[in-house]
Each structure stands twice: as structure tokens, then as C-alpha cells.
Amino acid sequence: MSDFLDALQRHWGLIVTVAGAVWAIMKLSMDSKYPNKNDLKAVCQNIFEVEARITHIEDTLEHLPTMEQISELNVLMTAIKGEMGTVNSRLSTLTYQVNLLIEDRVRN
């Protein structure tokens, strides 16, 4: 045991230098392989923001009509447009007849 302590006392500078070099090499190799805490926090924050945006978009898209509903709505609007033309022509005829009746009443 005393031989070990004597060798340690004589070569402590070399031992500390080698241990420091090994630690530095390990630290550098770990830094190049694994991300640090701040980088992970930034990535996690970014992921949470993207997830929130995607959830908002999905919620918005849920309430939009489907292609079938839009097509059905287009057909219904075309039918209403046709009916409005018919109503307009009947209303014109009715207006003309009402004007004739009013004119007849005014004269008599």
C-alpha cells in the first residue's frame, strides 16, 4: 500500500493530466452524440406549439362542409334560382293585374 502511495505522490501530475484528458475526451464525445438540456427544452417547446396549431386546424376543419354537402348545396341553390324565376314571372303578372284593377276602381 505504501508503494502505491509513493508512486501516486511522485506521479500525481501525470495521473491528473491523463485523467483530465480522458474526462475531456469523454465529455466531448458525449456532447457530439447527445443534445444538451437547453436544446431538448427548445425542441419540446416547438413540438408543443406545433401540436397546438395542428389541433386548432383539425378543430376548424371538423366544422367545414364536405364535398358532398357543398355539391348538395349547389344543387339546392340552382333549384331555388329556378323557382325564383318562376315566382318573379308570376309576380309580374299579378302586379299587372293589380294595376289594372286599381285603374278600373279609380275610373269608376
| Number of domains into which the chain is organized | 3
104 lies in the same domain as 85: yes
Q: What is the dihedral of CA 73, 78, 81, 83, to 10 degrees?
A: -100
Q: Which domain holds residue 3?
A: 1-33
Q: Can you give the pTM of this predicted structure?
A: 0.44
Gap between the Cα atoms of 98 and 106, Å rounded: 12
pLDDT, residue 84, reads 92
Q: Is the pLDDT of residue 31 over 80?
A: no
* Residues 72, 39 share a domain: no
pLDDT at 44 (0 to 100): 93
* Helix spans in the chain (H): 2-10, 12-33, 37-62, 67-107
Read off the pLDDT of each residue in 22-42 and give the average, rounded to a whole number.
Answer: 82
State the average pLDDT for the chain: 89
Average of pLDDT values for 67-74? 95
